[in-house]
Structure 1
Amino acid sequence: MKFLSLSLLSISALSACVSAGPLAAMDQLRLFSSQEPELRLIQYGEDTPPRWMTEADKEALLRAGVKYMDITEYPHPPVSSLGSEWKPFIPANARYQDEVAPFIGNLTTDTMKEVLTEFTSFRTRYYKSSYGAKSCRWLIQQIRDVADGFDHVSVEEFEHSWDQFSIIARFEGSNKDLENELVIVGAHQDSVNMWMPSFGRSPGADDDGSGTVTIFEAFRSLVHNGFNPERPVEFHWYSGEEAGLLGSQAVSNAYKEDGKRVVAMLQNDMTGYVGANGEVIGIVTDHVDEKLTDFLKNLVDNYAGIPYVLTKCGYACSDHASWRKVGFPSAFTIESAFDDSNHYIHTTGDTIDKLSFDHMKEFSKVAVGFAVELSHKRD
């Protein structure tokens, strides 16, 4: 594949040089031409050696539909401070239906509609843009408003070298013996326009505004209806997924280095579009933990009102890949079979009018079941 060598930022810089006048333009062009583009280490297959690429090359991969991880900051899996003796226990079947039922019964599409309407009003949520920085600050305030007044629930920023931070909301566990173990439900908050990544209009209603509000609603119902888990449960909204899983890599590597024990992680990426083959929950079967994925099937059977379909998504398809890479069980639900999913993503056409909030609610049910069931200690 031949990649583009001149980024949109480069084009903007050249335009600025020309408009500055002949002499100033000559000076600026000399400076510009002397600067080498930043190189990033990109991997787009488990068995494929990583390659150094420019940001323009990364954008070409995005437009070509090639999924990748930008591993520049994390070329090697971290070593845990606790060693490798601990192994998470994944159950085979749901057991806490009576506990889960009230949380599911209190789910509503009203809050999801309100949050997603505002969330998609930002011009873009591109992770390096000023809009992305504003959107994450708006989102964290909504999450903090939900958690306000609940002492066992905290909401924190996970900062990055760019301005759009990731968000971590945490339920503290009641069992002190399990305080270093945790369950994670995630989504990504950023969006991207594949033709003009830095500034192009990118409402990102489905990718991944739908996943963002899906887990927001699950979190809201758990908080407001008295969820008190045995082991800690966290809800994550990642930055920089569209640029190679940057935010989730930072969080997962930090957790691994700190010796945290992640029992299971569930990613919700694109949960709002109903494909041509009808309403289903897509369960991804490649590049995931097999045992956790089998348990996820059982959760859909127990808690969702629609069936699941098995599908494949490819390498580095979403943020669950970051957790799998550092050795923790992860799984991934998507709105349909992958080839029946929303083809408007990464464009100006990824808007709310194409989505079903009732469909998102089915994923909220599964997220609630995941959080409750895995928060309990089982042998």
Structure 2
Amino acid sequence: MRLKRLLPALMLLSTTPALAEKSPASLKKDPELWVTLGTDTVESVRESFRSVGWEEPTQELVKGEATMFRVRESQLEKLATLMHEKFNRCAGFMTYETRDEAIASLTPAPALATQNLVTYTLDNAATATALMSSMTEANVRSTITLLAGYTTRYYTSTTGVNAVNALRSKWQGFIPAGRTDASVALFTHAAWAQPSVIFTIRGSTLPDEVVVVGGHLDSISSGSTAPGADDNASGIASFTEVIRVAMLRNYRPQRTVKFIGYAAEEVGLRGSKEIAAWHKNNGINVVGVLQLDMTNYKGSSVDAAIITDYTNAAQNTFLRNIITTRAGYTHTNSTCGYACSDHASWTNQGFAASIPHEATVSAGNRYIHTSSDTLTNSGGTANHALKFARIAASYVAELAKGTAQ
């Protein structure tokens, strides 16, 4: 997420690994990694590590509101559990393969000049209406059911890989014969098994300007059942319905649209971090990013909560206008802290990102990160997630423009 203005002082506290003694063979299987997280969480992290007999992690660097630790990969799940249970953040930290990369992340990139190409106008009502009118609760629910049917979607698990392949097949099945501007591809990650998956509709007149809609497809547990129906099969299901109706209604965007299911979010936004960096490093002009992470639990009286920290203020205003004018829903503001979802990866690279959440963060789904994160415990339907499908469809119609039949 976008860090607030960072203090100029950079304090080097320690370079000593905060790790229990392990044999060389076990260390090879459990690689050393670096994480950055909110400085407000440091004491809780230390206490959490002590509670399971681990050596207390030592801060390596502190810069403003962010702190860097050295950890082992096996410790990420414990860290993710703490961030959820105590701070309502998922993941609440960002993971890096190298120390230099982690240090560099403590100074996020400035907003990219290419964002000035975007004017936030609401002038494509016919396309937005065409997409929204074809959406159904049953179709959104079917995707939640598909993904939640896997024992776990953990990023290193076989079932986590299988879930991605099933989602890729589902998306591929939406593409009509002869539709050559639409495609599905996996984005592989060298450090773990689970790939990300990207559905692309190439823009008709502005193909080099890209609109991204995404959400994470993994779930948290490596050792027990983790259906992750709300976190985050629901977000994936919401924008999967946008893909379906886009193909059904022959949607032809002016700008290229990418729908992305990110791997390994729960262990430090790892998939989206690599994908956002790839777009930045390859000079891809991403003009806007919408993140959907948890869309089916109605914990607040309003329909959606706009996360205001570490996001883009101008695009947030645009999103509010879409929610009220196009989708006809109510909204409020909320905050969720450092690195609470994949939009942080894009914000850190200088791209404009927003996230509409299912409820205010304090009123979120208490079942997430447990075996009880089921469709039943989100009300048994996908009615709330359908609202976010409509919001995402309107966002795409108004930012990518284009026509639908």
TM-score by length of 1: 0.84
Q: Relative to structure 1, is the Cα distance of residues 227 and 200 closer, same or farther in structure 2, using a 3 angstrom cutoff?
A: same
- Pair 1:172-2:202 in alignment: yes
Correspondence for 1:221 among 233, 245, 254: 245
What is residue 256 of structure 2 aligned with on the other side?
232
Q: 1:156 aligned to 185, 207, 216, which one?
A: 185
1:225-280 Cα deviation digits (max 9, x unpaired): 011011101101100000100110111111111100010000000000011x3351
Q: Is 2:371 the partner of 1:348?
A: yes
1:247 pairs with one of 271, 276, 279: 271
Is the partner of 1:49 in helix, strand or coil? strand
Query: Which is worse superposed, 320-329 or 57-66?
Result: 57-66
Deviations 1:277-317 (A, max 9, x none): 33511110000011001111001011224301110111101
Query: What SS does the aligned partner of 1:232 have?
Result: strand
Aligned to 2:36: 43
Preserved CA contact (<8 Å) 1:166 1:238: yes
CA distance in 1, matches of 2:251, 2:112: 31
Q: Is the 8 A contact 1:6 1:56 kept in 2?
A: no
Q: Which residue identity does 1:170 align to in structure 2?
A: T
Distance of 1:142 and 1:363 partners within structure 2: 20
Identify if the C-alpha distance between structure 1 residues 120 and 264 changes in structure 2 by more than 3 Å, giving closer, same or farther: same
Give identity over the alignment, percent.
Answer: 29
1:188 counterpart (201, 212, 216): 216
Counterpart CA distance in 2 for 1:31 and 1:340 is 45
The separation in 1 between residues aligned to 2:203 and 2:29, in whole angstroms, is 49
Q: 1:6 to 1:56 in 2, by over 3 A?
A: farther
Specify which of 127, 130, 145 is matched with residue 158 of structure 2. 130
Note closer, same or farther for the CA distance 1:50–1:357 as it changes in structure 2 (3 Å cut): same
1:317 lines up with 2:310 in the alignment = no
Larger Rg: 1
Match of 1:200 in 2: 224
- Judge conservation of contact 1:90–1:292 (CA < 8 Å) in 2: no
**Equivalent-residue separation in structure 2 for 1:363 and 1:107 (angstroms):** 11
When residues 36 and 366 of structure 1 are mapped into structure 2, their CA distance, relative to the original with a 3 A threshold, is closer
Residues 12-66 of structure 1: CA deviation (Å, up to 9, x unaligned): xxxxxxxxxxxxxxxxxx7757869522110003632312112344233222225
Unaligned runs of 5+ in 1: 11-29, 78-82
Of the candidates 115, 121, 126, which is equivalent to residue 149 of structure 2?
A: 121
- Give matches, 1:1-379, under 5 Å: 37-45=30-38, 47-65=65-83, 67-72=92-97, 74-75=101-102, 76=104, 85-149=113-177, 150-161=179-190, 162-175=192-205, 178-193=206-221, 198-275=222-299, 277-355=300-378, 356-376=381-401
**1:43-102 Cα distance to aligned partner (Å, 9 max, x none):** 00363231211234423322222510002254336xxxxx96533444344221122111
Instruction: Specify the SS of the correspondent of 1:249.
Output: helix
- Give 3-state SS (helix, strand or coil) of 1:263's partner: strand
What residue number does 1:17 align with? Answer: none
Q: Report the Cα distance in structure 1 between the residues aligned to 2:373 and 2:93, rounded to whole angstroms.
A: 21
Q: Which amino acid aligns with 2:399?
A: L
Matched residues, number: 342
Quick check: 1:125–1:190 contact (8 Å CA) kept in 2?
A: yes
- Residue 305 of structure 1 contacts residue 362 of structure 1 at CA under 8 Å; is this kept in 2? no
Is the CA contact 1:90–1:295 (under 8 Å) kept in the aligned structure 2? Answer: no
Distance 1:33 1:181, change over 3 A: closer
Is this contact kept in 2: 1:93–1:298, CA < 8 A? no
C-alpha contact 1:153 1:171 (8 A) present in aligned 2: yes
Question: Unaligned stretches of 5+ in structure 2?
Answer: 1-17, 39-63, 106-110
Q: Is the 8 A contact 1:147 1:155 kept in 2?
A: no
Mean CA deviation greater in 279-288 or 52-61: 52-61
More divergent stretch after superposition (91-100 vs 240-249): 91-100
> Counterpart of 2:196 in structure 1: which amino acid?
S
Task: Give per-residue Cα distances to partners, 1:107-129, cap 9 Å, x unaligned.
Answer: 01122222221211110000111
In structure 2, how many angstroms separate the alpha carbons of the residues matched to 1:183 and 1:36? 38
The residue type equivalent to 1:189 in the other structure is L
| Local SS of the residue matching 2:167 | helix
Flag the 1:353–1:33 CA change in 2: closer, same or farther, 3 A: closer
CA pair 279-86 structure 1, distance change in 2 beyond 3 A: closer
- SS for the counterpart of 1:368 is helix
Distance in 2 (alpha carbons) for counterparts of 1:36 and 1:202: 23
Change (3 A) 1:263 1:273: same
Kindly provide the amino acid, as one letter, of the partner of residue 292 in structure 2. Answer: N
Corresponding letter in the other structure for 2:71: M
Is the Cα–Cα contact under 8 Å of residues 214 and 271 in structure 1 kept in the other structure? yes
Cα distance in structure 1, aligned partners of 2:121 and 2:329: 18
The answer to whether the Cα contact below 8 Å between 2:196 and 2:260 also exists between their aligned partners in 1 is: yes
Judged with a 3 Å threshold, the aligned counterparts in structure 2 of structure 1 residues 143 and 315 are, in CA distance, closer, same or farther, namely: same
- In structure 2, distance between residues paired with 1:34 and 1:279: 48
